[in-house]
Structure 1
Amino acid sequence: MLLRILLFPVLLTLAAPLWADTVWLANGDRLSGEIVLLDGGKLALKTRYAGQVLIDWQDIDTLRSDKPLLLRRQGLDSQHSQQLAAAGSGMVRVLGEKTETVPLASITRLVPPRPLLRDRVWEGNLDAKLDMERNENASDEWQVKGSSRFEHGRWRHVLAGELERETKNGSVVDDNWRLEYDLDRFFSQHWFWRTGVEQQEDGFEFFSRQRIVGSGPGHRFWDDELGRFDLIGQFNRVQLWFQGGDLAFNSLSLEWDYKRLLWGTRLELFSNAELQVPEIEAVDYVFDSEFGLRYRLNSWARLSLLYELEQIRGFGQSTSERHYLIGLGVGW
């Protein structure tokens, strides 16, 4: 008898359904799964039998969710719901600080809240481009860019890098790589401290090697299923190597990291940029940025479009370099 009493809660937990959310469609169909988010008129539902599916919000009759959700309604601030219960056609019952039945048409966004302390959250992207030309000159160019973020508890590890190589008529004309690692320690839901190091090498530039070591505070404005926005300020020590010598100086930098999912997670808009202000008279600032759009073909494949802008201003003049990358990638 004692063994049965002890095993009953375990068996009850194992028997509980993993996919607790249910969506009833206007045509009478019913789908079970896990609500990922609602945004832009599309509900993303993760199912066990068909992966993630997108459902037009206007095609939903009612729904039910047993997990907490951040809910936004037209003309109102966001509110927390502990549960959503099915109601009449075109309606849903919101159970939170107070219980009320509202029209589905008035709800514009549903996002599961993320806790500050998360255990082993890993995400990243890897994009690649290959450009081959065969005319009077034979030119081959390929580029690989990637980034990864791993979070556990109040710690976050950010790793980013890129590799580029170009040959023309059998001779290498461009060969460079960059690798950056940042370690963040969160003190609250929004504030953290970052320490990082970046190494870059280029065999065809005047400065063949560059190393930046920096540290400073950061602010996380938001980080949820829809995306994130971080702003970081750092004090850096920069060291440059060139043929015949080296150069070292301090700098201040401001960096942002932005990502936003659109069209029910099908599209991903992202931007990363850093503004460096060196403590030398020869250079006013260095601006390095990228802006891109990824189209999610499935749960892991991406079609990416990337625009890069690098700008340096010194002695009253500015020089800019622009790069475009169209290619395939993977995400996790």
Structure 2
Amino acid sequence: MLLRFLLSTVLWLAWPAWADTVWLNNGDRLSGEILLLDGGKLALKTKYAGRVLIDWKDIDTLRSDKPLMLRRVGLDSESSEGLQAAGPGLVTVVGSGNETVPLASISRLVPPRPLLKDRLWEGNLDAKLDLERNEDSTDEFKIKGNTRVEHGRWRHVLNGQLEHETKNDEEKEDNWELEYDLDRFFTDHWFWRTGYEQEEDQFENINRQRILGTGPGYRFWDDELGRLDLIGQVNRVRLDSPQGELAFDTWSLEWDYKRQLWGTRLEFYSTAELQVPQIDEIDYVFDSEAGLRYRLNDWARLSLLYELDQLRGLGNTYSEQRYLIGLGVGW
């Protein structure tokens, strides 16, 4: 009995002191951590039932001692130092001047993204391992990752992947690619991007590809729930093969989209780039991917990725599709 009491005490003390409280219209009270309000659902993380979703219309009032970003009628984004319980259907927004507002006027609540001093850092790393032991022995692994650091008016974006496959101890795939982009924001939406990309493949006719590009971009939004960027660039492409070298210019259009769903437990993302080379042999090159990441805990993800690469030239269209199911980490 004493051991159980001590364990309960330790667990209670370990529970965050800033636990939030939600009062429901039926008189019930729930304690935990507010994760997100979006789409009329409040996601609350509790120590006794995990993550629960509550209809916003069923909440009488609530309290939170941590900072939250709000979206209210007539206000796209508002910072608060916390929330205080008020009368039925009301809540007090704590800030430079406390203001009591109707719950019905609030359409979104999200904690501010963590900052490293004045920097914002986020990223993902997904991995797939496929081992087959039947008539043939095949080992395949693929790692994809991306990260971005934003500070002031600058943003650094790094993407990369590594793929390796052997069949009966004979190499079949061995390639990697790495891309670095540097963005300079002139307004909250407009920026200029300069980037470099390199790919190496030991089993393709073109065993090295290098791209240097620059051009304007527009950020439609980038917040705790997701982002959408659109970038146009002019690029210089250099291809190396055993037959020789080829260099040419291209025009490109790229998008980067991400959206948190289901109380931030599910993430949908999509990136794509369309390049139009300034040579007669190739009409266009289209590289795209779309995927879902399911949050297992604060850092682990279960990922499902679909990739489509397409090239059209000399009257023919060549397409390659790939699927990636695996585990990953996010931050």
Fold match by TM threshold 0.5? yes
Distance 2:254 2:218 in 1: 11
Q: Please give the alpha-carbon distance, in whole angstroms, between the structure 2 residues aligned to 1:142 and 1:31.
A: 43
Counterpart selection for 1:23 from 4, 21, 24: 21
Contact 1:111 1:224 in 2 (8 A): no
Give the aligned residue type for 1:71: R
Q: Is the 8 A contact 2:92 2:98 kept in 1?
A: no
Deviates more, 1:90-99 or 1:274-283: 90-99
Question: 2:287 corresponds to which residue?
Answer: 288
- 2:113 and 2:140 map into 1 onto residues whose CA distance is 41
In the other structure, the counterpart of 1:261 is 260
Distance of aligned partners of 1:129 and 1:272 in 2 relative to their CA distance in 1, 3 Å threshold? same
TM-score (norm 2): 0.83
The equivalent residue for 1:133 is: 132
Residue 242 of structure 2 corresponds to residue 243 of structure 1: yes
Confirm whether residue 176 of structure 1 aligns to residue 150 of structure 2. no
Amino acid at match of 2:38: D
CA contact (8 A) 1:211 1:240 kept: yes
Gaps of 5+ in 2: 1-15
> Partner of 2:313 in structure 1?
314
Aligned to 2:271: 272
CA contact (8 A) 2:147 2:157 kept: yes
Separation of aligned partners in 1, 2:231 and 2:313: 24
Instruction: Name the CA shift for 1:44/1:187 in 2 (closer, same or farther; >3 Å).
Output: farther
1:43 aligns with 2:42: yes
**Compared CA separation, residues 143 and 250, structure 1 to 2 (3 A):** same
1:25: Cα distance to partner? 3.0
Q: Is the 8 A contact 1:81 1:95 kept in 2?
A: no
Is the contact between residue 218 and residue 233 of structure 1 (CA under 8 Å) also seen in structure 2?
yes
Change (3 A) 1:57 1:28: same
**Aligned equivalents of 1:123, 1:114: Cα separation in 2:** 9
CA distance in 1, matches of 2:277, 2:123: 31
Unaligned ranges ≥5, structure 1: 1-17
- How many Å separate the matches in 1 of 2:103 and 2:68? 19
User: Using the alignment, how far apart are the partners of 2:120 and 2:213 within structure 1?
Assistant: 25
How far apart are the structure 1 equivalents of 2:124 and 2:92?
A: 38
C-alpha distance 143-183 of structure 1, shift in aligned 2 (>3 A): same
Provide closer, same or farther for how the CA distance between residues 19 and 236 of structure 1 changes in structure 2, counting only shifts above 3 A: farther
Residue-by-residue CA offset, 1:200-249 (whole Å, 9 max, x unaligned): 01111111100000111111110111011111111110000000310000
- CA-atom RMSD, angstroms? 3.0
2:202 aligns to what? 203
Map of 1:212 onto structure 2: 211
The offset of 1:121, in angstroms, is 1.3
User: Residue 266 of structure 1 contacts residue 295 of structure 1 at CA under 8 Å; is this kept in 2?
Assistant: yes
CA-to-aligned-CA distance 1:292-312 (integer Å, 9 cap, x gap): 000000000000000000000
Q: Structure 2: which amino acid aligns with 1:124? A: G
Q: Give the Cα separation in 1 of the matches to 2:166 and 2:205.
A: 19
Q: Following superposition of structure 1 onto structure 2, how do residues 34-73 of structure 1 map, counting pairs within 5 Å?
A: 35-44=34-43, 53-58=51-56, 60-65=59-64, 67=67, 69-72=69-72
Distance 2:117 2:222 in 1: 12
Q: Tell me by how many angstroms 1:278 deviates.
A: 0.5
Distance 1:70 1:60 in 2: 16
SS of residue matched to 1:207 = coil
Match of 2:151 in 1: 152
Note the C-alpha offset of 1:133: 1.4
How many residues align structurally? 309
The match for 2:12 is: none
CA separation in 2, counterparts of 1:186 and 1:81? 23
State the match for 2:220 in structure 1: 221
TM-score by length of 1: 0.83
Structure 1 counterpart SS, 2:204: coil
1:13 aligns with none
Inter-partner Cα distance in structure 1 for 2:177 and 2:215: 21
Question: Which moved further from structure 2: 211-220 or 106-115?
Answer: 106-115
Q: Does the 8 Å contact 1:271/1:290 carry over to 2?
A: yes
Report the AA paired with residue 182 of structure 2.
L
